[in-house]
Amino acid sequence: MSINQLIFRSLRKNLKNYYLYVFALIFAVALYFSFVTLQYDPALNEMKGTVKGAAAIRAASVLLIAIVGVFLFYANAIFIKRRSKEIGLFQLIGMTKGKIFRMLTAENFILYYSSLIIGIFIGFAGSKLLLMILFKVTNIEAIATLSFSEKALVQTLVVFSVIYLFIMLMNRWFIQKQTILSLFRVTSTTEVKKVSVLEMLIGIFGLVLILTGYYVSSKLFDGDFATINELFLAMAFILGSVIIGTYFFFKGTVSFLFYLLRKRKGGYLNIGEVLSLSSLMFRMKSNALLLTIITTVSALAIGLLSLSYISYYSAGQTARNTVAADFSFMNQEDAKRFTEALKEKGIPYKEKVIDVIQVKADLTSILENVDSSILNVDLAAMPVPVIRDSDVETIDLPPDQTLFTGYQDYLAQFMPFKKSGQIQLKGKHEGIKLRYLGLEKTYYISYRFTYGFPTVIVDETIFERLKKDIDPKIQKESTVYIGIHISDEEKVEKADDMFQTMNFHAPADSRLAIISNQKYQFGLIMFIVAFLGLTFLITSGCILYFKQMDEGQDEQPNYTILRKLGFTQGDLLSGIQGKQLFNFGIPLILGLSHSYFAVRSGWFFFGTELWMPMLTVMLVYTALYSIFGILSVLYYKKMIKEAL
Amino acid sequence: MIILEASNIYKSYGNKFNKQEVLKGLDIRVEKGEFLSIMGPSGSGKTTLLNVLSSIDRVSQGMIKIEGKDIVGMKEKQLAEFRKNHLGFIFQEYNLLDTLTVKENVLLPLSITKTPKKEAEQKFAELATELGIYEIKDKYPNEISGGQKQRTSAARAFIHEPSIIFADEPTGALDSKSASDLLNKLQHLNRKRKATIVMVTHDPVAASFSSRVIFIKDGQVYTQLNKGNETRQAFFHDIMKTQGVLGGVQHEH
Ligand SMILES: Nc1ncnc2c1ncn2[C@@H]1O[C@H](COP(=O)(O)OP(=O)(O)OP(=O)(O)O)[C@@H](O)[C@H]1O
Ligand SMILES: [Mg+2]
């Protein structure tokens, strides 16, 4: 048989093995090509200029190459391992390693480059979709048209050819160390030996590293690290200690716990433990690295997605907090002109007029340990906006009490309030002591009055007393806030168009205008980050899934034995579910925890809201990630079913 | 009492166009408490027969009854339940789980019957010592020899004291000393606990430990020998003779 015939024979026979590899390849190419096409699209030029996006995009494409590279290497590693027997057999019949390598290379070449072409086509179609999404998030009204970019094509070809070379090198190395003996050996050798004290110490050390990383991250922006250099060092330290800690955790702690658990059983394992515990332990050494990678990548993805969603989410929230209505005015006349225009167009609205005065307040007794030097204010006499309770429908206060409202998570980071206490409002002459009841989230007046500080609500009688005793020096341009709510949600846009064409005497704001401005500013970065985050999610999910397919095939003989012994498919499946809960669950939980601390340390640079967007991202991520877990269980189910 | 009865069973492999008939209308009956050997040339269908008798594989046609129950019509789940509780296996390939230690492999069938741990421990110690695998109890299958694997596999078949033990060449990888140890163990189980044993073997010495030998050829029972009151030695010579008549490896058709 000539070598060409051999190549085609094995190509045909291996199609089942290849399909996974081909899928991985097409997916990676499509992802990369669509991103690069976008990068070279003229429609993006404008945006790149505005937000230093060029650098962001370039950084992102480098990261993309890294993750795509890792992904392909991994797929290839599984794939070549599947064929190690075949390679041994070729050697046995007297083929030289060089010849085998040439055969594999030729075979691979055909597949690699045909997948590359398919991937490029899919990627091109995908890039149009991406552009449409990008326009949507940045609030740009344009039709997504894309031209096929030669530059993108060349770049993709070059990048993937380089990856191809590396993969070939890897194969070369693999074949080199492959002996005929491996043909006869059981696929994998045992990885569990006696767990030593050293291993236990490593596990504990890992936990300590992770916790240290968390601790430093919580101190990151507390002012302990003053210079940029120190900050970078601290970040590098956190990253390093958490990642290494995770690795040690898997390698030491998990192995150790498993070992103890198994030892306690004294050799008496039930079917669930056979399929989960012992199978996991059997591969713990090689899995520790993989699980660490998955955990890190998940943490990165969740962190990035959270941050970008925080900024996107905050855009709407910030706008709402800034305006406290759909439109806000500081001048009765401006408001009147606008409402008349609304009436003319037949747009229904509600008007809310609130008197706002600025009063100095002594907040020292309700603030938690604050270093006022950062904020540059005198906490004993800080000007705050005050409104009367009768202007707020839902609130009625007795004269000796006060409620604060409208406070951003972000300010709370620097200036946390206590649950209750005493404050003093200082007019020009008299001071009024009030019992502080707490802090609410709602915003009643616009940013032009609050500057991000909470609004103080007091009883009507107190308000009148303060108003008489007002200090004119600290008042804003106006002491009246007029908020316009458009009753019909769909007409807000129309009203905004009108708002844009009018000129006003005093500052006036439109919620929609603020949102689109925010989105325009942060949209591109957000988009890139989200794209990377999703890529991370899909690649890490795929890698884990591939790994599980690999394990499933390795373990199929075990399922055969167990079924021969009389265990039902259901028995086996429940054991597998336990194992998958670990394989997918532990990296997810650790990843969530890592990302929580990462986001926690610096989210306030990205937006004003932490919990809602972060929890949303975490939930969605968990759901998407679980899909891969479920897929893998289904795959095992198939393996078990076919085992007998 | 007849514990296992198979009549007119057919088994073929492959599809419509490329069919290979392995069992062609074979009949077999096993009495309770009997020690039966099955012999025949390589490729004659011994493993196949054992598989269908033990419900691991399904026949193409025919009837198989174990303790009066027809197992051909049984659901997959019922069959599994049946195997778990009443059957023990020693397979031709050792069939040990490579993720479990020797001890864990052996104790596997007990975890189903919910035997108390202490009792399980005691049973294991006893059995493992007898079969000479106690010292290697914490090793993994890829760290032990072929013969040790076979003995481990035997221990797993005995530990839950099943009513029928199916053994496919249990002595194939053993030296004559450990082979006769294992066979003695089988004989002991057979005599003392009245365990029914169906064993496939190529080795006339092994076969001479049993009370009856069936010879298979061309997918059917060729002949059979009863030990009766003969000595093992005499029985052994009978077996040798019959085997000589039967000939060696069967040719493919
Ligand atoms: N799963 C299978 N698919 C197709 N053919 C099979 C299968 N298993 C066995 N055969 C065929 O059935 C015939 C009998 O096989 P079997 O394994 O029962 O032989 P045996 O008597 O146990 O031989 P040996 O003594 O060598 O173990 C052989 O010709 C074999 O090729
Ligand atoms: Mg056989």
Ligand 1 pocket test, pick from B44, B221, B243 with the greatest ligand atom count within 8 Å of Cβ, gives B44
How many CB pairs (< 8 A) connect A and B? 88
Going by pLDDT thresholds of 50, 70 and 90, the confidence category of residue B145 is confident
- pLDDT single digits (tens) A253-309: 888 888 888 888 877 888 888 888 888 888 877 788 888 988 988 898 898 888 888
Quick one: average pLDDT of B179-199? 86
In sequence order, the β-bridge partners of residue A255 are: none
pLDDT at A17 over 80: no
Q: How confident is the model at residue A144 (pLDDT cuts 50, 70, 90)?
A: low
Locate the chain B residue with the closest alpha carbon to A194: B138
Distance from residue A4's CA to the centre of ligand 2 (Å): 37
Q: What pLDDT shows up at residue A187? A: 47
Going by the DSSP 8-state scheme, the letter that residue A437 receives in this structure is E
pLDDT above 50: residue B250 = no
By most ligand atoms within 8 Å of CB, the mutation choice from B18, B48, B94 for ligand 1 is: B48
Q: What band does A371 get if pLDDT is binned at 50, 70 and 90?
A: low
Per-residue pLDDT of A208-264, as tens digits, reads 999 999 998 888 776 666 666 777 788 888 888 998 999 998 888 888 888 888 888
Q: Can you spell out the DSSP letters for A513-565?
A: HHHHHHHHHHHHHHHHHHHHHHHHHHHHHHHHHHHHHHHHHHHHHHHHHHHHT
Joined tokens for residue A285: 């050494």
| pLDDT, tens digit (0-9, with 9 covering 90-100), for B49-75 | 998 998 888 888 899 998 888 888 888
User: How far is the CA of A556 from the CAs of A269, A275, A562, A637, in angstroms?
Assistant: 19, 11, 10, 11
Nearest chain A residue to B52 by CA distance is: A564
Contact B200, B46 (CB under 8 A): yes
If you take atom 10 of ligand 1, which residue's CA is the nearest one?
B13
Residue among A633, A528, A615 nearest A308 (CA): A528
pLDDT in tens, A578-633: 999 998 999 999 999 999 998 888 787 777 778 888 999 999 999 999 999 999 99
Encode pLDDT of A403-451 as tens digits: 888 876 666 666 778 888 888 888 888 888 889 988 888 888 888 888 8
| Mutation for B interface: A193, A262, A269, most B CBs within 10 A | A269
Cβ pair A558:B85 closer than 8 A: no
CB-based contacts of A253, cutoff 8 Å, min separation 6: A203, A204, A206, A207
If you count them, how many residues does chain B have? 253
| C-alpha pair distances (Å), A297 with each of A61, A66, A197, A206, A541 | 16, 12, 30, 18, 10
Determine whether the shortest distance from the Cβ of B47 to ligand 1 is under 6 A.
yes
pLDDT score, position A607: 77
pLDDT at site A505: 85
pLDDT, tens only, A32-84: 888 888 888 776 666 655 555 667 777 788 888 888 888 888 888 888 887 77
Amino acid at A7: I
Interface of A with B in 599-618 (CB under 8 A): none
The pLDDT tens digits of the residues spanning A478-524 come to 888 999 888 888 888 888 888 888 888 888 888 888 888 877 777 77
Q: Is A634 exposed, middle or buried (0-12, 13-18, 19+ CB in 10 A)?
A: exposed
Query: Is A558's CB within 8 Å of B98's CB?
Result: yes
Q: Describe the strand order of the beta sheet including A349-355 as a list of residue ranges.
A: A349-355, A480-486, A327-329, A508-510
Tell whether the model's pLDDT for residue A399 goes beyond 80: yes
8 A C-beta contact, residue B166 and residue B90:
yes
A 130-189: CB under 8 A from B: 185-186, 188-189
Task: Name the token pair of A43.
Answer: 């429609």
Q: Where are the beta strands (DSSP E) in A286-348?
A: 327-329
Our CA-based measurement puts residue A4 at a distance from the nearest CA of chain B, in whole angstroms, of 29
Whose C-alpha lies nearest to ligand 1, atom 3? Answer: B13
CA of B248 to the centre of ligand 1 (A): 16
- Nearest ligand 1 atom, CA B44: 21
Instruction: Report the relative pairing of strands A480-486 and A349-355 from DSSP bridges.
Output: antiparallel
**Chain A residue numbers touching B167 (CB-CB < 8 A):** none
For residue B96, list chain A residues with Cβ-Cβ distance below 8 A: 561
Residues of A in contact with B80 (CB under 8 A): 563, 566-568
Write out chain A residues lying below 8 Å of B82, CB-based.
Answer: 566
Question: Which residue type sits at A68?
Answer: V
> Rounded to an integer, what distance in angstroms lies between the CA atom of residue A406 and that of residue A385?
11
pLDDT at A168: 92
Residues of B in contact with A570 (CB under 8 A): 77
For the residues A88-92, what does the mean pLDDT come to?
76
Task: Assess whether the C-beta atom of B201 lies below 6 angstroms from ligand 1.
Answer: no
CA B16 to chain CA centroid, nearest Å:
31
- Stretch 20-59 of chain B: residues touching chain A, C-beta under 8 Å: 56
Q: Tell me which of A229-243, A362-376, A463-477, B77-91 is least confident.
A: A362-376
Residue A185 has pLDDT above 60, yes or no: no
Closest CA to A286 of A536, A81, A560: A81
| Distance of CA B22 from the midpoint of ligand 1 (Å) | 8
Cβ of B44 below 6 Å from ligand 1: yes
pLDDT band of residue B251 (cuts 50, 70, 90) is very low
Q: Which atom of ligand 1 is nearest to the CA of B202?
A: 25
Question: Which residue's CA is the nearest one to ligand 1's atom 28?
Answer: B43
Q: Testing the interface with A: which of B82, B99, B136, B164 to mutate, by most A Cβ within 10 A?
A: B99
**CB of B46 sitting under 6 A from ligand 1:** yes
Considering only CA atoms, which of A258, A269, A268 is closest in space to residue A575? A269
**Cβ contact A283:B99 at 8 Å:** no
Is the Cβ of B77 closer than 8 Å to some Cβ of chain A? yes
pLDDT confidence tier of residue A7, bands split at 50, 70 and 90: low
Which of A450-454, A480-484, B216-220, B231-235 is the least confident region?
A: A450-454
What's the CA-to-centroid distance between B92 and ligand 2, angstroms?
Answer: 6
* Amino acid (1-letter code) at residue A166: F
Using a 6 Å cutoff on CB, does residue B13 contact ligand 1?
yes
Q: Is B63 helix (H, G, I), strand (E, B) or coil?
A: strand
Say if A433 is an interface residue toward chain B (CB within 8 Å).
no
Nearest CA owner, ligand 1 atom 27: B42
Q: Is beta strand A382-388 parallel, antiparallel or unpaired with respect to A357-362?
A: antiparallel
For residue B81, the chain A residues in CB contact (below 8 A) are: 566, 568
Does the beta carbon of B19 lie inside 6 Å of ligand 1? Answer: no
Least confident of A68-82, A369-383, A583-597, B77-91: A369-383
Dihedral of the alpha carbons of A16, A18, A23, A26, in degrees to the nearest 10:
-150
- Comparing CB atoms, the residue among B80, B97, B121 nearest residue A561 is B97
- Beta strand B164-168 pairing with B87-90: parallel
Residues of A with CB below 8 A from B97's CB? 274, 278, 558, 561-562
Q: Shortest CB distance from A266 goes to which of B56, B87, B121?
A: B121
> CA A415 to CA A374: how far, in whole Å?
10
- Write out the two tokens for A613: 């967007």
pLDDT band at B253 (very low <50, low <70, confident <90, very high): very low
Structure tokens of A214?
């968390």
Give the closest ligand to the alpha carbon of residue B202: 1
Which amino acid would we find at residue A604? F
Q: Does ipTM top 0.90?
A: no
CA distance linking residue A72 with residue A165, whole number of Å: 12
Q: pTM score > 0.90 for this model?
A: no
What residues of B are in contact with residue A189 (Cβ under 8 Å)?
Answer: 142
Confidence of residue A176 (pLDDT cuts 50, 70, 90): confident
Instruction: Tell me the backbone φ, ψ of residue B226, rounded to 5 degrees.
Output: -105, 140
Residue A267 forms contact with B (CB below 8 Å): yes
Q: For A346-441, where are the alpha helices, taking DSSP H only?
A: 372-375, 409-414
The DSSP code sequence of A230-297 is HHHHHHHHHHHHHHHHHHHIIIIIIHHHHHHHHHHHTT---HHHIIIIIHHHHTHHHHHHHHHHHHHH
Q: Do B104 and A267 touch (CB under 8 A)?
A: yes
CA of B1: how far to CAs of A514, B4, B29, B83, B161, in Å? 92, 9, 10, 20, 19
Q: Touching check for A567 and chain B: CB below 8 Å?
A: yes
Q: Which of B82, B93, B98 to mutate to test the interface with A (most CBs of A within 10 A)?
A: B98
